[in-house]
Amino acid sequence: MRTKLQTTAKLALAILVAVSWISTANVQAQLGAPQAAVNSKALAERLGPDDGYAVTINFSGDTHGSLETCG
């Protein structure tokens, strides 16, 4: 029973390592040169189109003393 448990644990560990390698490899493949273009596109989406507006009023609330990012 003890051996089987250890074997199962080793197998689970091996699967975990493999999955994390595949995940990391996937992330690595996504990074690199095209990332700048992706970021630039995402920022453009945040900014929205410049369609001739004359004034922007932006407002915050409930920051409760925090200058940090959250979540």
Partner 1 sequence: MGGLARRVSYVNELANQSGHSVAVLQLDAGNFLSDDLTLPAAAAQTRVKNERMLKSLEQFKFGAANVSNRDLPYLAELMKKSAHSQSAKDFPFLDRLVSANVVPATPDVVGFKPYLVEELKSQRLGAKPLKVAIVGVADPAGPAGTVHSGYKFLDPVESINKLLPDLRKKVDLIVVLAYLDRPSAKNIGAQTIGIDLILAAHQLPLINGVDEAGDAVVGYVANQTKWLAEFRLYRAAEAKSAGISSYIFRTVPLDRSVPDDPVALKFVEETRVAYTKLGAAGAAGAAGGHSH
Binding site for partner 1 (CB under 8 A): 39, 42-43, 45-48, 50, 52-71
Q: 């004359």: which residue's tokens? A: 54
Residues ≥6 apart with Cβ < 8 Å to 18? none
Measured from the CB atom, is 29 or 70 closer to partner 1? 70
Shortest spacing between CB 25 and partner 1, in angstroms:
21
Shortest spacing between CB 48 and partner 1, in angstroms:
6
Residue 28 to residues 14, 24, 34, 43, 63: CA-CA distances in angstroms?
Answer: 21, 6, 12, 22, 35
Measured from the CB atom, is 5 or 55 closer to partner 1? 55
Shortest spacing between CB 49 and partner 1, in angstroms:
9
Helix (H) or strand (E) holding 41: helix 34-47
